[in-house]
Amino acid sequence: MRQHNCRCGNQVFFENSHCVACGARLGFDPASMTILTLDELDNGLLQSLDGRRFHACNNGVEFDVCNWLRPEESGHPLCFACQFNRTVPNQQLPENQYRWRRLEEGKKRLFYTLLQLGLPLVDGWRDPENGLLLDFIEDARAREIYPETFVSTGYLGGVITINTLEADDVARESARSELNETYRTVLGHLRHESGHYYWARLDAGSAVQQEFRALFGDEQADYRRALDRYYENGPAADWREHYISAYASAHPSEDWAESWGHYLHIYDALETAAAHRIVDRWPAQMDMATRIGEWRQLSITLNELNRSIGRRDAYPFVINRQVEAKLLFVDKVMGLLRTPG
């Protein structure tokens, strides 16, 4: 994430809708990929310092869960990112506003990185065949009116589903502990599931398919049986030698999605590090092998800083040579996805 500043000079952040120093109105413009300082006009429009005019997203106006802007000429009540929503939490329940805001924050950080990388991103309302939609759904664990229901976070047929309890810190940490995971976040889920979406969008030729299978395995292996076996027996004892995470060992498709998610994680973190002058180049100026090298060093620093204040490692993963080869393949696939036709 790049740095953003208010017109008063104060640093502001990606989720801010107002500057805490001077109180100015702020909003994110996806066209310029910047946080803008805005003046509120009498007709309800917002005007940037260079004279451009915008509407606020209705999800920000009505529910205070969005700070993205839509152009003055836009006829849609929602911003670009909110148009991808198919199901959102019931806002009549007070705890759901907080959960929805956390889910939107994760989704918008995902979208920011996807846009930075130049990946195709279109909502499923406009393009049902190739587009993406998101469901933020509750089940019996969150609300008693849904007895005997269980919503799994996952991806199917162009739709990413996130259980709203993932936005609840206590519930998410309980799930992390129960599943013996080292890392579990809303943003991590979204990055992972986007990997399934983009693989489904890729028109992979035979050479790419063969390379995938050489690195990840046969994606046509029985998925349900593989996951049942993983949850019943756990990962193989030597999983660290071959995979970025224990869950990646469950099935080749999950190994792919985990690798994709870590690619996005690394890119965004390196961009933040460059913005704060911790590294001397932007990730867009590096090839993937260089990014991996920079990240290996930076993640050690992050982990040591966390340990020094009594926290768990910020990045509890090891990028060995096999994982590096998978990340390089993800980079290659992204190049194919950016190529028209």
Question: What pLDDT does residue 229 have?
Answer: 94
pLDDT greater than 90 at residue 102: yes
Residue of 270, 298, 296 whose CA lies nearest to 284: 270
Cα separation, 272 vs 287, in Å, equals: 17
Q: Does pLDDT of 213 surpass 90?
A: yes
Query: In the structure, what pLDDT confidence band is assigned to residue 144 with cuts at 50, 70 and 90?
Result: low
Q: Does 204 score more than 90 pLDDT?
A: no
Contact 99, 164 (CB under 8 A): yes
Least confident residue range of 27-41, 145-159, 261-275: 145-159
- Distance CA(155)–CA(140), nearest Å, equals 20
Please report where in the chains the tokens 């911003």 appear, as a residue: 79
SS3 134: strand
Banded model confidence at residue 295, pLDDT cuts 50, 70, 90 = very high
Residue percentage of the chain with pLDDT more than 90: 83
Q: Any idea which of 25-34, 53-62, 134-143 has the lowest mean pLDDT?
A: 134-143
Instruction: Give bridge partners of residue 219 from the DSSP assignment.
Output: none
**CB burial of residue 262 (10 Å; 0-12, 13-18, 19+):** buried
At 142, is the pLDDT very low, low, confident or very high (cuts 50, 70, 90)?
A: low
Query: What is the mean predicted confidence (pLDDT) over 317-333?
Result: 97
**231-249 confidence digits (pLDDT tens):** 999 998 999 999 999 999 9
Angstrom distance (rounded) from CA 75 to CA 68: 15
Q: Which positions ≥6 away from 209 have C-beta within 8 Å?
A: none
User: Which token pair is 279?
Assistant: 């590294």
Token duo for residue 314: 């910020």
Q: Which residues contact 218 (CB under 8 A, 6 or more apart)?
A: 252
d(CA 264, CA 262): 5
* DSSP letter assigned to residue 132: B
User: Where is pLDDT greater, at 232 or 204?
Assistant: 232
What do you get for the CA distance between the two ends of the chain, in Å? 30
Residue type, 39: D
Q: Are strands 133-137 and 159-163 parallel, antiparallel or unpaired?
A: parallel
Contacts with 170 (C-beta within 8 Å, 6 or more apart), sequence order: none
Mean pLDDT score across all residues of the chain: 93
pLDDT for 313 equals 93
- List strand residue ranges (DSSP E) for the chain, in order: 4-5, 11-12, 25-29, 34-40, 46-48, 53-56, 69-71, 85-87, 133-137, 154-156, 159-163
Contact 209, 333 (CB under 8 A): no
Structure tokens at 214: 């050489």
Lowest model confidence (mean pLDDT) among 24-28, 86-90, 182-186, 204-208 = 204-208
Q: Are strands 4-5 and 11-12 parallel, antiparallel or unpaired?
A: antiparallel
What confidence category does residue 81 fall into, taking pLDDT thresholds of 50, 70 and 90?
Answer: very high
Which amino acid, one-letter code, is at 314? A
With a cut of 90, say whether residue 150 has pLDDT above it.
Answer: no
Of residues 44 and 83, more confidence is placed in 83
pTM: 0.93
- Mean predicted confidence (pLDDT) in 10-34: 96
Q: Of 96, 79, 264, 290, which Cα lies nearest the Cα of 189?
A: 264
Query: For the chain, what percent of residues have pLDDT higher than 70?
Result: 96
Specify the pLDDT at position 212.
Answer: 96
Residue 171 has what pLDDT?
85
**Quick check: 202 pLDDT over 60?**
yes
pLDDT of residue 94: 76
CA-CA distance, 162 to 165, in Å (whole number)?
8
Q: What pLDDT is stored for residue 50 in this prediction?
A: 93
- pLDDT of 215 over the 90 cut: yes
**pLDDT-based confidence at residue 1 (cuts at 50, 70, 90):** confident
Q: 250-281: per-residue pLDDT in tens?
A: 999 999 999 999 999 999 999 999 999 999 99
Reference 167, options 64, 109, 98; nearest CA is 98
Average pLDDT value for residue range 101-115:
97
CB 55 within 8 A of CB 61: no
Half-sphere exposure in the Cβ direction for 210 (13 Å, CA)? 3
Residue 175: per-residue pLDDT: 85
96-105: average pLDDT: 94
- In whole angstroms, give the CA distance from residue 3 to residue 18: 16
